[in-house]
Amino acid sequence: MSYGNIILVLITWIGFVCGCRQVIENKTANIEQQSDEPSETTRAELVMQALHLGYPQEITAVEFRNGDWAVLMHDIWYYYCNGRLLSEDMREEIANYRAQIFYRYTEELPPFVKRPVPEPRTRNNNNNAQQRVSLKRSPFMDDLWQSRDRNEAYDNLRSVRFLGRSIRVHYKIVNILAVVEERILEAAEEDHSIKTWINSLAPPESWSWRNIAATESRSFHSYGVAIDLRPRSIGRLQTYWLWTSQHRSDWFNVPYEERYHPPETVIKIFETYGFTWGGKWQRFDTMHFEYRPEVLILSGMPVINLM
Ligand SMILES: [Zn+2]
């Protein structure tokens, strides 16, 4: 992507954010909402515009059609219906589908809040969990990355070197990772702690066809657009909520200083080019980065889009 395109994306993003703000303000004024939460219709437009900006090669149009906001991806219109991303046919059986999560993401690490340990799960809660599992997953993300099954995902992979290690990633993010690596290496020239961090890394985990642990959602590792960067040794530090939960029921109360965090500059570089970092999630995964430009755009963060 040329500098012209980068500037264009930034200008579009600024226009988009200002436009969104305008939409939210108008909506708020019209219906006298007390909360900052956009209405369902406004949320739908924000999500669809963010997807269009985040994946301009794949998602080529966005418009309000047939009563819902929709995006055109690979010749299929996907509609945003009550938080679900569904094609025309799937809209008929909306109740059978689960919502697509575009999680909240913050520019800074959210303030640490100690939380009470919840009561043990009741039978009723387990039934609810069972019900959630039986709902179908929208094929939207599989279609976006053209990885509808393991074989198709495998065909999209390319082996590349990243910070001196070999990884397999989706061919569409190869160039983006090359720029991320270049920026990290530049930063390491200025900051010796980044150089030390690079030298300490274990072989990274990248592609792996699997669901997110304890869920029916496809992990972004399945598409080859997530990467785990972890030093060979992290001592007594914690890095992944699920591992911590094996020996500590209040895993969420592990303070930040007891968690492994990559250098701040490295996190910022990944974010600049469209990756989110799992260290900002409540279910922390501090070694994990995944390519989610739409999540960053929805959170009002600028993204240099190289796709
Ligand atoms: Zn991961």
CB 293 within 8 A of CB 303: yes
Burial (CB < 10 A; 0-12, 13-18, 19+), residue 2, is exposed
CA of 205 to the centre of ligand 1 (A): 7
Question: Based on the domain organization, do 273 and 167 belong to the same domain?
Answer: yes
Measured in Å, residue 223 CA sits from the centre of ligand 1 at 12
SS3 of residue 58 by DSSP: coil
Is residue 168 domain-shared with residue 78, that is, in the same domain? no
- For residue 166, what are the contacts with CB-CB under 8 A and spacing of at least 6? 159, 160, 203
197 in a structural domain: yes
Q: How far is the CA of 251 from the centre of ligand 1 (A)?
A: 18
For residues 7 and 13, give the distance between their C-alpha atoms in angstroms, rounded to a whole number.
10
Query: CA 124 to CA 263: how far, in whole Å?
Result: 42
Residue 239 is assigned to a structural domain of this protein: yes
Neighbours of ion ligand 1 (CB under 5 A): 228, 288
Question: Which of 75, 96, 117 is the last residue before a domain boundary?
Answer: 96
- Cα(47) to ligand 1 centroid in Å equals 24
Residue 187 CA: distances (Å) to CA of 164, 263, 264: 16, 11, 11
Predicted confidence (pLDDT) per residue in 24-73, tens digit: 333 333 333 345 666 777 999 999 999 999 999 999 999 999 999 999 99
Domain match, 85 and 184 both: no
Q: How far apart are CA 176 and CA 187, in angstroms?
A: 17
The pLDDT of 140-147, averaged and rounded, is 97
Are residues 69 and 162 located together in one domain of the fold?
no
Looking at 96, 129, 162, the residue that finishes a domain is: 96
CATH number, domain at 233? 3.30.1380
How far does residue 239's CA lie from ligand 1's centre (Å)?
Answer: 11
> Based on the structure, what is the number of domains in the chain?
2
Q: What is the pLDDT of residue 4?
A: 44
Q: Ligand 1 centroid vs 214 CA: distance in angstroms?
A: 14
**CA of residue 88 relative to chain centroid, distance:** 25
| Ligand 1 centroid – CA 278 distance (Å) | 8
> Are 231 and 92 part of one and the same domain?
no
- Residue 276 inside a domain? The answer is yes
Establish if 286 belongs to a structural domain. Answer: yes
Structural domain ending residue among the three candidates 63, 96, 129: 96
Q: How far, in Å, CA of 30 to CA of 52, rounded? A: 27
Q: Does 81 share its domain with 163? A: no
Q: How far is the CA of 2 from the centre of ligand 1 (A)?
A: 30
What tokens appear for 167 in the block? 């990884």
Ligand 1 geometric centre to CA of 213 (Å): 10
The owner of tokens 């290496």 is: 185
Give per-residue pLDDT as tens, 69-103.
999 999 999 999 999 999 999 999 999 999 999 99
Query: Please, what sign has the CA dihedral across residues 274, 275, 279, 285?
Result: positive
Q: Which helix (H) or strand (E) holds 121?
A: none
* Cα separation values, 2 from 7, 184, 294, 302, 306, Å: 9, 20, 21, 17, 9
Co-location of 8 and 73 in the same domain: yes
Q: What average pLDDT does this structure show over 287-306?
A: 96
| Residues 255-263: contacts with CB under 8 Å, at least 24 apart | 255/112, 256/109, 256/112, 259/284, 259/286, 260/230, 260/231, 260/234, 260/286, 260/287, 261/286, 262/197, 262/229, 262/286, 262/287, 263/191, 263/193, 263/194, 263/197
Per-residue pLDDT at 216:
74
36 in a domain, yes or no? yes
Backbone angles phi, psi at 273, to 5 degrees: -100, 20
Within this chain, do residues 47 and 157 fall inside the same structural domain, yes or no?
no
Same domain, 177 and 275: yes
- Note whether residue 65 is domain-resident: yes
Distance 150 CA to ligand 1 centre (A): 17
Q: Is residue 110 part of a domain?
A: no
Backbone phi, then psi, for 277, in 5-degree steps? -115, 130
238 within domain boundaries: yes
**How much distance in Å is there from the Cα of 127 to the middle of ligand 1?**
28
Q: What angle do CA 62, 24, 6 make, to 5 degrees?
A: 50
DSSP-derived 3-state class of residue 160? strand
Q: Give 193 Cα–ligand 1 centroid separation in angstroms.
A: 23
**175 and 275 part of one domain:** yes
Give the number of residues written for the chain. 307
Distance 229 CA to ligand 1 centre (A): 8
Distance (angstroms) between ligand 1 centre and the Cα of 226 equals: 6
What pLDDT score does 79 carry? 97
pLDDT greater than 90 at residue 12? no
Confidence of residue 166 (pLDDT cuts 50, 70, 90): very high
Domain that includes residue 27, residue range: 3-96
Centre of ligand 1 to C-alpha 91, Å, is 32
Give all strands (DSSP E) within the chain, no chain letters: 59-65, 68-73, 76-81, 84-87, 157-162, 165-170, 226-228, 275-277, 288-291
Reported pTM:
0.85
